[in-house]
Structure 1
Amino acid sequence: MNRHIITGLSVAIVAAVMISCQPRSKNGQNGSTETKDTVVNQNIKPAESGYAEVNGLKMYYEVYGNGKPIVLLHGSYMSIPLNWSHIIPLLANNRKVIVMEMQGHGRTRDITRELSYEGMADDVSGLLKHLKTDSADILGYSMGGGVAFQFAVRHPEQVRRLVILSGTYAHDGWWPEIEASFATFTPDMFKGTPIQKQYDSLGNDPAHFAEFVKKVISIDLKPYDWTKEVKNIKAPLFMAIGDADGVRYEHALELFRAKGGGKMGDIHGLPTSRLAILPGTTHIGMMQRTDILIPMITDFLDSDLNATPPTF
């Protein structure tokens, strides 16, 4: 692919991230998230927040609500407010929502350790132990989806159910032009954006922003393939991608088939795992589709996966 096309694609991806940083209601205005006639206040306060000493990190975390625990794992360059401000209130009504900021992100300062999906998964495991939470539902978006896959592979005893939004389990799970664009990401693309402003405002040294950008993208510049391990995950899994996402349809379908999909449920019964391809939805737009996503996620988490489908 022509380098100018790849670079242009990279700029478009970063621009899309900037647009998506602020959640929008159905009427197009930034602010409250509307679900039917209910306006959900995004400015709820955590019941608990602080830092956990895990694997050499001082990992920042927040806890909201009560009920069965669900852990939210953010995407690349994101933080709790940028990725989850409009999601937390929708889940915290009847769940304990645990959110954290990964190595080098937000208020979790970087350390002299390679950034990796495996390392971040171990950090999440350490945080759950710190919070005395034996197991939880795990939801990961984009980079967080990769962390969630590795968490389920490395710490299966801590996973109840797994939700992956626009995440991959192999480097070629992305469309080829998307994978090629990662190498063209530069710190200059982020200058003046909400991501840079967030980095500075949360107490990081602005002089290290360029290092942060390069370090985060480094995890996707090295080939990875966890297909065998991910197909052996025992926890029920719900994977959702957009029909205009950066994730290949075949990548998601391959995993769904391995988890029991690809058969007529009226004859063979429903698989314990699920797949959704959201219409009119991009990779970045996935986080704005709460009207579709949240009901599907809660139905998956609350459902009796051993139930027999109706017959006629």
Structure 2
Amino acid sequence: MADAMADATAEVLAPRATPVHVMGWSDGAIVRLHLALRRPELVRSLVFGGATFHHTGWLDGALDGEPPGFMRDAYTAVSPDGVQHWPVVVQKAQALHRREPDLSVEDLRGVALPALIVVGDEEQVRWPHLIEMLQALPDGKLAVIPRATHGAIVEKPALLAQLIREFHREDRDNGVVPIRRRT
């Protein structure tokens, strides 16, 4: 499913003359990661927020139960099927999350562009999974937003925007005592 969505995104981006910065949150992050893997010539950098690269990276129970009400309300506001279709959407999403994403550490090693992993400190992803992702990405960085959950994108939008701006700064350096980014 993420491959098909990445291909659809690629169709939109392909006519552009230059690669673009892409950002995705939760399922959107997984789609953007697939885009970076499938069509790296279209992607300049990746911001990957609140997601896993493999479905086993979610904490136990993280995907159980009903999603927050604001998601239902947002869906209802734009869906021609209305609120009565929401349970179908939830059921399909839960089935999808049991089998996807299914990328490997070796797949991540093929992402040859700057990548920023962003999560809340109360994210629903296993910490070892995030560290594994950080270590596998050749040019990976990790940002943890304090006092934020899987909803960090709506809980702390200003801080998230600041982190992304810093990540994209052309004049950024590698810090005073770099370990992973030694020049």
- For the superposition of Structure 1 and Structure 2, which TM-score range results when normalised by the shorter chain? 0.7 to 0.9
The one of 271, 286, 297 equivalent to 2:164 is 297
Contact 1:117 1:147 survives alignment (8 Å):
yes
Q: Give the corresponding residue for 2:50.
A: 166
1:222 and 2:99 matched: yes
2:14 maps to 1:129: yes
Unaligned runs of 5+ in 2: 178-183
Instruction: Give, in whole Å, the separation in 1 of the partners of 2:99 and 2:93.
Output: 12
Residue by residue over 1:172-209, the C-alpha shift from the partner in whole angstroms, topping out at 9 and shown as x without a partner, is: 11112225x2xx55xxx77xx44444434425123544
Distance 2:39 2:137 in 1: 19
The residue type equivalent to 1:135 in the other structure is: P
CA–CA distance in 2 between the matches of 1:283 and 1:211?
22
Q: Which of residues 119, 137, 149 is equivalent to 2:4?
A: 119
1:145, 1:166 within 8 Å by CA — same for their partners in 2?
A: yes
Residue 157 of structure 1: which of 41, 66, 71 is its match? Answer: 41
Secondary structure of 1:217 counterpart: helix
- Structure richer in helix, relative to its length: 2
- 1:275 has 2:138 as partner: no
Aligned residues: 175
- Specify whether residues 155 and 212 from structure 1 end up closer, same or farther in structure 2 by C-alpha distance, changes over 3 A only: same
Q: Which residue of 1 aligns with 2:119?
A: 241
1:213 to 69, 90, 93: 90
Normalised to the residue count of structure 1, the TM-score between the two structures is: 0.50
Give the Cα separation in 2 of the matches to 1:289 and 1:283. 11
Distance change in 2, residues 1:226/1:203 (3 Å): closer
Q: Distance in 1 between matches of 2:71 and 2:61?
A: 24
Question: What CA distance in whole angstroms lies between the structure 1 residues aligned with 2:149 and 2:49?
Answer: 11
1:135-146 equivalent positions in 2, closer than 5 A: 135-146=19-30
The structure with the larger Rg is 1
Percentage of pairs with the same residue: 25
Relative to structure 1, the CA distance from residue 231 to residue 176 in structure 2 (aligned partners, 3 Å threshold; closer, same or farther) is: farther
Separation in 1, partners of 2:28, 2:154: 13
Q: Which structure is higher in RCO with an 8 Å CA cutoff and minimum separation 6?
A: 2
* Alpha-carbon distance between aligned partners in 2 of 1:201 and 1:275, rounded to the nearest angstrom: 34
Partners of 2:120 and 2:150 within 8 A in 1: yes
Alpha-carbon distance change, 235 to 201 in structure 1, aligned in 2, over 3 angstroms: same
The verdict on how the C-alpha distance between 1:238 and 1:213 changes in structure 2, with shifts beyond 3 A counting, is same
| 1:308–1:168 Cα change, 3 Å | closer
SS of residue in 1 equivalent to 2:14:
helix
The equivalent residue for 1:46 is: none
Alpha-carbon separation, structure 2, partners of 1:200 and 1:282: 23
1:258 aligned residue: 136
TM (normalized to structure 2)?
Answer: 0.81
Unaligned runs of 5+ in 1: 1-115, 261-271
